[in-house]
């Protein structure tokens, strides 16, 4: 069975580093993730709660702030509790195992939402032939 979540979104607020009574670093925050939509419709977003622990929490609070684009890999966790009124509640959240930058610092500061460069941006003319190699020598 798999419980794997990969998300890219923007932080909805500055993440705040907290420490548990036993001294473990933790941060909780939410990200806005765009949802696919039909042509002609307004873009929709889901707001997803994220929890990060230890060094991951410290990294996030040091390098990300409100509006930053972040990539998150983690798993979904549910918690059940009873609120102050005695009602049973269930919370769904993503536990972040790995995070990464999705945009450059320059793009983040300028608010530019350009996608990072990728291999698909190169044209066929930008590649050079490797001399002495032929497709017949390939094992597949």
Q: From its phi and psi, is residue 59 left (phi > 0), alpha (psi between -120 and 50) or beta?
A: alpha
- What pLDDT score was predicted for residue 127? 52
Separation CA 64–CA 71 (nearest Å): 11
Residue 80 near residue 89 (C-beta atoms within 8 A): yes
- Which run of H or E residues covers position 48? strand 44-53
Using CA atoms, how far residue 123 sits from 48, 117, 118, 127, in Å, is 37, 13, 11, 8
The pTM score is 0.70
Taking only the tens place, the pLDDT of each residue in 19-55 is 999 999 999 999 999 987 777 788 889 999 999 999 9
């Amino acid at each position: 069975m798999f419980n794997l979540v990969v998300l890219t979104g923007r932080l909805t607020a500055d993440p705040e580093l907290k420490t548990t009574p036993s001294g473990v670093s933790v941060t909780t925050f939410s990200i806005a993730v765009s949802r696919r939509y039909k042509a002609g419709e307004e873009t929709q977003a889901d707001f997803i709660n994220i929890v990060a622990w230890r060094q991951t929490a410290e990294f996030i609070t040091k390098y990300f702030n409100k509006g930053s684009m972040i990539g998150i890999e983690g798993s979904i966790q549910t918690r059940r509790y009873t609120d102050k009124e005695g009602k049973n509640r269930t919370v769904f959240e993503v536990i972040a195992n790995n995070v990464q930058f999705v945009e450059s610092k320059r793009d983040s500061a300028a608010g530019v939402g350009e996608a990072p460069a990728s291999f698909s941006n190169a044209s066929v003319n930008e590649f050079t032939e490797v001399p002495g190699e032929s497709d017949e020598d390939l094992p597949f």
